[in-house]
Structure 1
Amino acid sequence: MKQVKLNEVKEYIESYKSRAVKRSNRVVFGKHLVSPRISSKIRRILRQIKSKGDVKARIPVNLDLDRLIEAYPPDIPRFNKDMVHVICKSVYSQMKTLGEDFCHPRKHEPFYVPLNAVMLKKQIGNHYMKVVAWMMQVGILQCDGSYQAGSVSKGFKFGPSYSYESRWVTITDTILLRKLRKIADMPIPRHYCKRVVNRLENALQDGGLQIDAPKAEAWVNARYNASMAKAMKGKGKLTPEEVEIIRQIQLEDIKTIASGNIKLIQDDFGHRLHTPLTRLPKELRPFITYKGEELAEVDISGSQLLMATRLLDKRNYPLRGNKAQPDLSEVFTGSYLEVTGDKRRDTTIMFLDSLQSRYSKGFQEMDFVKDAASGEVYSRIVEELEKISYFKPALTEKEKRAKVKKTLLKQLFASPYFHKHKWLYKGKAGEIWSLFTTIYPEFAELTDHIKSKNHKDMSMILQRMESVLIIGRVCKRIQDEHPEVFIATIHDCLVTTKANKDLVRKILEEELQTYVGVAGTFSEKEWSMPKPVESPGS
């Protein structure tokens, strides 16, 4: 074979962009064989060319770093602008898991997100917190001040001067580039049921999901104008900055659905799935179709409380080597009840036995189990509150139930000992919790026991139980038995076409009965056209 010179190889690489095949310690370019003497140099050139090109980060559109660095010089070793770019990228990435109430799974305050400290330390180094502190000093980030060692992490969001609207910048620091490219090569994390989750993502990306973008954007802008008018007068619950953030998030979600490039993110907290569908307002859902067919949803009424009934049955606690219920290790991993030994389980089992002994009731006889199965927990509390004239006369029954549900779920997942949660257990809100503990004393005591080490354990365990049911059982069964059926999830809600609504409900009912042990109640809703615009802060 003809041996070529290094300069000729460089020209070949530049022209044909590394059409190379390595053979042993030599490199072949087309029909030309390169001598071993220069193979190492060529391989280095190949690595540079075969890299994935530019790595971009998303930053606020009005962020002027040069001006800020000049006005407030950072005293940080080896500081460069790309460190700030990477942290902004991390904030935007975490905001993809915001729920419909714009709260992160690990945070109770809207718009605040935790930073992935482990990942930022790998990318920026040990002084990444100094970069975060400088960003707070100059107003790029705000912190919620919430921190409790081992249970509550700090939350961050962009300052009021910086909007959610973003632009892309290219990372130029070579060290950061190398680290970011390694991360980019890693697969998207799937914390539970990887195969099922990947197939759910493929269904969202097959081009069938469509949205009437012009009408949806018009609705968002109309709602924005109404909400902003109230916010400017101080009448709404939202600030003007929050109204603007909501508008930008919703417009971006609409564009994402219209493009068909929908990424499915599974959080590591409750293993829930997050897509633009999960965050989109209910009023926008009717604008969405699948291959021209209208959609419908099947929802479990009071799913969180229904999942909680399993916690009153001692058979549902982790035991090392429990082959009958392998999903328990997925549910309890990372909590106080994790399968790290039998001592914690035995403590909980003894606690449940003492509950049954003190209240002389078995699992199926407990009022909480009966009312949760029939979906009557919230209604029963509303009835008791009406006896003491708790509600304003203008509220409808639906509004009363919604108020009780919202407050009670917050109390169920919060801690009376954490300074930001104490208000939930005092005053008007505290009356709801006091009544709940009176009606369902067994479950209230068990809740305190589970939250004794970390109050987030309760929400994490219940969300993971929900994920096991919805993803690991219902979605998996539909994919295996009816692969032609479109299915998507909005946490405890299943979305499908109207024609397949009855099939999905039937499977959901069967799996719920098998998994929880009680028959629940369900609600169905077809995605009809939206009502006139109302302000979210009204």
Structure 2
Amino acid sequence: MINDKSHWEIPSSIDVEGFLTKYPPEFKYKIDHFYFIVEYLAKGMEHGDLDQNLGFINTSSVILQKRIKNYKQYLDHMLEHGFIRTDMEYIPGYKSKGYLISGRNKEDMTINFIPIQDAVSKRNRIKDNAKTIAKNKKTEKNYPYLTKWFNEKLEIDSQKAKLKLNELFPVETGGIRGPKIGTPSSHTKKVKAIYSISKLENLNFYYSVDDNVGRFHSNLTNIKKELRNYITYDSKKLVNVDIKNSQPFFSTLLFNTAFYEEKSENFNMYKMPSLSKVIGEESEYISLIIMLGKTLESTMNTSFSEYLDMVNSADFYNTIHTKLYPEQPFDRPKVKLMILIYFFSKNRSKSQFKKDFKNALPEVHKLFALIKRKNHKALSHILQRIESEIIIERVTKLISIEKPELPIFTIHDSVVTTQGNENYVSDVIKDEIKLATGLDVKLGLEYWNPGD
């Protein structure tokens, strides 16, 4: 285990020294500055949404210049010799340039811990570590019933996990290939995954709660799904109890007028004040709530019944696909992705799925569009906030009171526990959702380490 934090964490597929030997810069440089940029981009791969941006990591010129005054010279040198690439996409106030490390996918990739030589870089690393510790402590103070389980008993079989990575991302023969159109490269995906493995292997835990939607982010929420099978707690296998089609399920609350009434006994919009940051000023937020309530009062609730039936069916994604595309073969991952994009997209989006959804379910689309009128993130944030309120603030808190010795973790819309306790956790989730919303939920079970 690496205890000394004065190291760069660099994927073994990225050879900075070899690059500088082959292409020595003409300007005076510090190798630690190259390592900083590489680590900054590589860790951006770990936490970023690779599929959304083809693996390119949007950079902050403020962060780079704070650490390296002439950072552009370093970037230009790496770009000139193909060590990194850029998407050349800069939109003032919206998106900074994205960069991608052009490494080769190695079969036995790992993380190399390279000592930091530069004194200033060492001091900056100490400051960064202090900020991480402070962030963790803040989360520990507010959510001790979740953070206490991140300890030496939470383990990953790194050897098996790395073998699985080799299977998922086999080494390609021939030259270094860039990403296929519409997808990030296998090297980029492997870098993201190897960081997750390394952190668990070295007990380098992190956790925080999103101020906007209340989601609990941790090592487990960020690790690739296929690698969860190699995670255990106290040598016990784990099981994930998840809410089926969570966001479509919670979206049905939006069709109930009580959801927009401040005095409603059930969970309602007034219990989510943090969303005013997303929608705008608090007055605008309250106006939206009132407008939505009036819209529903003037609309026959039966017009939403078809959508409600879809959500409550045995297979929501298959049912809605059949409604929209009766002649096309069903592709579950594709349909799930289209639904999520629809919830997150702007009203002015011209996607074909949005048009088809609008034609098939006009009143449902009208309500969703009204919620996203001021800010397209509002709908997804409302749904995620409901999800967080249920899972983080109610379900896991109650479990920690009733069974304080039962290990529990969360992955957004699900609760992870040791196998043998899934029925108890399922009952708590069902009861708390019923109590808060009046809805009956369908749950799924995902057993980790099923073949061992």
Instruction: Provide TM-score, normalisation by structure 2.
Output: 0.78
For 1:63, the equivalent position in structure 2 comes to 16
Q: CA deviation at 1:496?
A: 0.7
For 1:402, the equivalent position in structure 2 comes to 333
> What is the DSSP-based 3-state SS (H/G/I as helix, E as strand, rest coil) of the residue aligned with 2:148?
helix
In the alignment, is the contact (CA less than 8 A) between 1:327 and 1:468 conserved in 2? no
For 1:219, the equivalent position in structure 2 comes to 164
Check 1:120–1:311 CA distance in 2 against 1; reply closer, same or farther (3 A cut). farther
- Of 351, 358, 361, the residue aligned with 2:301 is 361
For 1:383, the equivalent position in structure 2 comes to 322
Which structure 2 residue ranges, 5 or more long, are not aligned?
none
For 2:273, the equivalent position in structure 1 comes to 329
In the alignment, is the contact (CA less than 8 A) between 1:145 and 1:155 conserved in 2? yes
**Whole-angstrom CA distance in 1 between matches of 2:380 and 2:77:** 33
For 2:342, the equivalent position in structure 1 comes to 411
Q: Counterparts in 2 of 1:198-213, with a 5 A limit?
A: 198-205=144-151, 207-213=152-158
- The Cα RMSD (Å) is 4.4
- Of 468, 475, 478, the residue aligned with 2:396 is 475
2:365 equivalent to 1:459: no
1:290-337 alpha-carbon deviations (Å, 9 max, x no partner): 223322111101111223334445665698xxx98775123x1541x2
What is the percent sequence identity of the aligned residues?
25
Q: Counterparts in 2 of 1:115-130, with a 5 A limit?
A: 115=59, 119-120=63-64, 122-124=66-68
**Whole-angstrom CA distance in 2 between matches of 1:53 and 1:402:** 42
Check 1:469–1:95 CA distance in 2 against 1; reply closer, same or farther (3 A cut). farther
- Of 358, 364, 372, the residue aligned with 1:443 is 364
For 2:45, the equivalent position in structure 1 comes to 95
For 1:289, the equivalent position in structure 2 comes to 232
Q: Counterparts in 2 of 1:68-87, with a 5 A limit?
A: 70-71=24-25, 73=27, 80-87=30-37
Q: CA deviation at 1:200?
A: 2.7
2:439 equivalent to 1:518: yes
**Whole-angstrom CA distance in 1 between matches of 2:177 and 2:83:** 26
Q: CA deviation at 1:346?
A: 0.7
Check 1:325–1:348 CA distance in 2 against 1; reply closer, same or farther (3 A cut). closer
Which structure 1 residue ranges, 5 or more long, are not aligned?
1-51, 392-398, 532-538
What letter matches 2:55 in structure 1?
Answer: F
**Whole-angstrom CA distance in 1 between matches of 2:376 and 2:137:** 22
2:433 equivalent to 1:433: no
> What is the DSSP-based 3-state SS (H/G/I as helix, E as strand, rest coil) of the residue aligned with 2:232?
strand
Check 1:370–1:144 CA distance in 2 against 1; reply closer, same or farther (3 A cut). farther
Q: CA deviation at 1:501?
A: 0.8
2:350 equivalent to 1:350: no
**Whole-angstrom CA distance in 2 between matches of 1:436 and 1:80:** 55
Instruction: Provide TM-score, normalisation by structure 1.
Output: 0.67
**Whole-angstrom CA distance in 2 between matches of 1:452 and 1:133:** 41
Check 1:530–1:271 CA distance in 2 against 1; reply closer, same or farther (3 A cut). farther
Q: CA deviation at 1:470?
A: 1.9
Check 1:289–1:353 CA distance in 2 against 1; reply closer, same or farther (3 A cut). same
Q: Number of matched residues?
A: 441
Asked which structure has the greater CA Rg, the reply is: 1
For 1:244, the equivalent position in structure 2 comes to 187
For 1:535, the equivalent position in structure 2 comes to none
> What is the DSSP-based 3-state SS (H/G/I as helix, E as strand, rest coil) of the residue aligned with 1:189?
helix
2:241 equivalent to 1:298: yes
For 2:417, the equivalent position in structure 1 comes to 496
Which structure is higher in RCO with an 8 Å CA cutoff and minimum separation 6? 2
What letter matches 1:55 in structure 2?
Answer: S
**Whole-angstrom CA distance in 1 between matches of 2:310 and 2:138:** 30
In the alignment, is the contact (CA less than 8 A) between 1:211 and 1:258 conserved in 2? yes
Check 1:252–1:173 CA distance in 2 against 1; reply closer, same or farther (3 A cut). closer
> What is the DSSP-based 3-state SS (H/G/I as helix, E as strand, rest coil) of the residue aligned with 2:401?
helix
Check 1:299–1:344 CA distance in 2 against 1; reply closer, same or farther (3 A cut). closer
In the alignment, is the contact (CA less than 8 A) between 1:277 and 1:490 conserved in 2? yes
Q: CA deviation at 1:415?
A: 3.5
**Whole-angstrom CA distance in 1 between matches of 2:285 and 2:24:** 55
- Of 292, 311, 315, the residue aligned with 1:372 is 311
**Whole-angstrom CA distance in 2 between matches of 1:231 and 1:407:** 34
1:240-277 alpha-carbon deviations (Å, 9 max, x no partner): x8223434544453444344443335556655344443
Check 1:314–1:475 CA distance in 2 against 1; reply closer, same or farther (3 A cut). same
**Whole-angstrom CA distance in 2 between matches of 1:271 and 1:156:** 30
For 1:17, the equivalent position in structure 2 comes to none
Q: CA deviation at 1:203?
A: 0.8
Check 1:292–1:380 CA distance in 2 against 1; reply closer, same or farther (3 A cut). same
In the alignment, is the contact (CA less than 8 A) between 1:63 and 1:162 conserved in 2? no
Q: Counterparts in 2 of 1:117-156, with a 5 A limit?
A: 119-120=63-64, 122-124=66-68, 135-145=78-88, 148=91, 150-152=93-95, 154-156=97-99
Check 1:333–1:55 CA distance in 2 against 1; reply closer, same or farther (3 A cut). farther
For 1:111, the equivalent position in structure 2 comes to 55
1:35-86 alpha-carbon deviations (Å, 9 max, x no partner): xxxxxxxxxxxxxxxxx98733334531247458844649xxxx75544433
